[in-house]
Amino acid sequence: MGNLHIQLKERFPDAVLETHAHKGDETALVKRESLLAIAQLLKTDPLFDMNVLMDLAGVDGLDLKWKPRFQVVYHFYSLALNHRLRLKVAVEEKDAVVPTLTGLWPSANWFEREVWDMFGIRFEGHPDPRRILMYEQFQGHALRKDYPWNKRQPLIQAKAVTSDQ
Amino acid sequence: MLLNVGPQHPAMHGIVRIITELDGEVVVNADVEIGYLHRAFEKMAEQGGYLQVIPYTDRLNYVSPLINNIGYCLAVEKLFSLETTERAKYIRVIMSELSRVTDHLTCIGASTMELGAFTAFLYFIKAREYLYELIESVTGARLTISYSRVGGVKGDLPPGFKEQCLDAIKKTRKEIKEVDALLTKNKIFVDRLKNTGRISKEDALAYAITGPFLRSTGVDYDVRRATPYLVYDRFDFEVPVGEHGDNFDRYLCRMEEMEQSFRIIEQAFEQIPEGPVLLDTEGNVMPGETMVDEAKMGRIENIRNAEAIVDPTLDGTSKVQYRNVETTNKRASLPPKEDTYGNIEGLMNHFKMVMMGHGIRPPKGEVYFPVEGANGELGFYIISDGTDKPYRVRVRPPCFTIIAALPIILKGDTLADIVASFGSSNMIGGELDR
């Protein structure tokens, strides 16, 4: 096997913008519009058979002057074929929305909540779009490069248990 | 009825809040709230140099810190395309496996204590103590070890370590056997664990669960087998798998994995070669006694009359100010501590590694490196922009996905089973919340 990024490029010549295999990690940068279609194919096509969404992370490219500013990085793993593929989607700050993959891989649920919490990237169609590590009243998104690492915010009161949760 | 379990609850070893919806005694729904131990690891990792991240990784999974250390260093080494020496690889394997055993001992010990089996807890903590003493003799600390370095490990194994280690393994095996006799066929214990906290193979994979938790459902995924790193492909060991994916199978999996870890350590001692344990970024061997700083050797005239301006907070100065002292040889790893404190070359080498703007500089790029942590796949995703600070460090915490699946694991069980299921999930706050 191998060369999954090139095979993906052949399948989606327009949607795959960039590919590389730096240090053996096969990577494809894809268009946001085609993310769901590509993800669907990765999961169902026997060539890819990506049944595990291992990791999902956000990256803020502000200091590197990336255009668009943010990237969402997906790490897929296929248990049966024992191969990995990294998928990246770039989004603008003003329009920081990515379709959710929760329907395909439930593990995306908490990972996407974390990216929303830390980077302020919204996942369209997410069933439970709350913050996860920080509290709801927290101002800003901590892992953005323009959020100072030593900024302090007042702590808030404990949340009551109510039946509408 | 809504019932709040946690964040601080005597029967839960970890700060997490489970809001349960109960029908009588049966859990119909659960909402898990995390983040109580969030220390912004990923943010802080971007602030300092590559080597300054290593102490932070000790505090991720604080029950098996060596695996985090080694995982991070392997990821940075992948950025450099650096292979460590054979001896360093074996030392890393031995220390990883010792760490895995201490983690499993703590997990089983603590979770059985929460079910009332206090004896087993004491036996296992005693056994863990044998191994912690070994770890202390190698790294100098029990928990905050910071042992691994980019390019190898901090120091060689102490003399007589092999004998001490084999002796400790013998004693630990005895404790495990004793606890096995106490628990594995104990009716009260088995009744509490069998058929509770069940998860199917499909659900476990869908939630990206790895490690003993996944293996208890019957999937034999182990990073040491699937994508062997270090020298794991040279050992004969088994990957124990369960059948039902319930708490009892997870207990059995962990018990068997400890035995397999011991087997790996024993084989490693037979195969381990002599040799150096540290390399620089260009792949050259760097023995402590011949390490001489080039700036000190060749360009003394430039330094002699230069005025050093140091920031009062010691928070680093710009590269321009130290242009004269800049060496061309970018070394990757900190010198051994005896050199740092014992001679001026070692001190300068250390200083230049640790000062801002002088650290190691991996080439631009991005890597993901998975290792088998005690809880499952522990992955480091690092982006380098070519400077001495990592641009982004992302950890894939293994117990994050397990806790994410906790609502479906708890659903249908009784309230008392939460304790057993939560115990077997082995939640480690440091790694979950980072």
ipTM: 0.87
What is the Cα–Cα distance from B121 to B400, expressed in whole angstroms?
25
Least confident of B74-88, B134-148, B298-312: B298-312
CA dihedral angle for residue A46, residue A47, residue A50, residue A51, rounded to 10 degrees: 20
pLDDT computed for residue A74 by the predictor:
92
Mutate to test the interface with B, among A74, A132, A155, A162 (most CBs of B within 10 A): A132
Q: Shortest Cα distance from A97 to chain B (angstroms)?
A: 21
Q: Is the pLDDT of residue B212 over 80?
A: yes
- Which positions in chain A touch B79 (Cβ < 8 Å)? 23
**What pLDDT is stored for residue B380 in this prediction?**
92
Q: Is A55 helix (H, G, I), strand (E, B) or coil?
A: strand
CB distance B2–A142 less than 8 Å?
no
Phi and psi (nearest 5°) for B277?
-120, 5
Q: Alpha-carbon distance B41 to A136, whole Å?
A: 20
Token pair of B16, please?
A: 């997490």
Q: B58 vs chain A: nearest CA distance in angstroms?
A: 20
Inter-residue contact A111 to A119 (CB < 8 Å): no
Mapping DSSP onto H, E and C, the string for B314-380 reads CCCCCHHHHHHHCCCCCCCCCCCHHHHHHCHHHHHHHHHHHCCCCCCCCCCEEEEEEEECCCCEEEE
Cβ contacts (< 8 Å) between A101 and chain B: which residues? none
Each residue of B73-111: pLDDT tens digit? Answer: 999 888 888 778 888 889 899 999 999 999 999 989 988
- Which pair of structure tokens corresponds to residue B180? 């096995």
Look at the pTM and tell me if it is higher than 0.90: no
B170 exposure class (CB count in 10 Å sphere: 0-12, 13-18, 19+): exposed
pLDDT for res A157: 67
Strand order in the sheet with A52-60: A16-20, A27-30, A83-91, A70-78, A52-60
**Binning pLDDT at 50, 70 and 90, where does residue A103 land?**
confident
What's the start-to-end Cα distance of chain A, in Å? 47
The proportion of chain A whose per-residue pLDDT surpasses 70, expressed as a percent, equals 93
Of the partner residues B47, B78, B208, the one whose CB lies closest to the CB of residue A107: B208
| Residue of chain A with shortest Cα separation from B43 | A143
Tell me the C-alpha distance between B353 and B355, whole Å.
6
For B62-83, give one letter per residue: b (16+ CB within 10 A) or e. Answer: bbbbbbbbbbbbbbbbbbbebe
CATH architecture of the domain covering A4-94: 2-Layer Sandwich (3.30)
Mark yes or no for CB contact B379/A55 under 8 Å. Answer: yes
* DSSP category for residue B411: T
A94: exposed, middle or buried (Cβ count in 10 Å: 0-12, 13-18, 19+): exposed
B residues 47-86 near A, CB within 8 Å? 47, 78-79, 81
pLDDT for B123 equals 92
- Mean of the per-residue pLDDT values of chain A: 84
Query: Which residues, 6 or more positions from A3, have their beta carbon under 8 angstroms from its beta carbon?
Result: A21, A26
Measure the CA–CA gap between A16 and A25, rounded to whole angstroms: 16
Walk me through the domains of chain B, giving residue ranges and CATH numbers: 50-278 (1.10.645.10), 288-354 (no CATH)
Which residue among A23, A133, A163 sits closest to B81, beta carbon to beta carbon?
A23
Q: How many residues does chain B have?
A: 434
Residue B289 has pLDDT above 60, yes or no: no
CA B69, B70, B71, B72 torsion-angle sign: positive
Longest dimension (CA), chain B: 82
pLDDT score, position B290: 34
So what's the pLDDT on residue B275?
A: 73
Q: Give the residue carrying structure tokens 């922009």.
A: B385
pLDDT in tens, A127-158: 888 888 888 888 888 888 888 888 887 776 66
Q: At B410, phi and psi to the nearest 5?
A: -80, -25
Question: For residue B47, which residues of chain A lie inside 8 Å, CB to CB?
Answer: 149
* CA atoms of A57 and A107, how far apart (whole Å): 12
Average pLDDT over chain B, rounded to whole? 80
Of the candidates A23, A52, A147, the beta carbon closest to that of B205 is on A52
Q: What is the pLDDT of residues A3-36, one digit of tens each?
A: 887 888 888 888 888 888 888 888 888 888 888 8
Question: For the purposes of burial, counting CB atoms within 10 Å of the CB of B326, is it exposed (0-12), middle (13-18) or buried (19 or more)?
Answer: middle
Measure CB to CB from residue B208 to each of A23, A52, A142 and give the nearest one: A52
- What is chain A's percent helix, strand, coil content, to nearest 5? 20, 25, 55
pLDDT for B358 equals 66
Compute how many other C-beta atoms are within 10 angstroms of the C-beta atom of residue A13: 8
Q: From CA B40, how far away is CA B63, in angstroms rounded?
A: 19
Q: Count Cα atoms within 13 angstroms, Cβ side, for B201.
A: 11
Write the DSSP assignment of B81-136 as a string of letters. T----HHHHHHHHHHHHHHHHHHHHHHHHHHHHHTT-HHHHHHHHHHHHHHHHHHH
Which of A82-91, A109-118, B273-282, B309-318 is the least confident region?
Answer: B309-318
| Longest Cα separation, chain A | 54
Per the model's pLDDT, the better-predicted residue between B342 and B36 turns out to be B36
d(CA B103, CA B97) in angstroms, rounded, equals: 10
* Residue bearing tokens 């029908």: B23
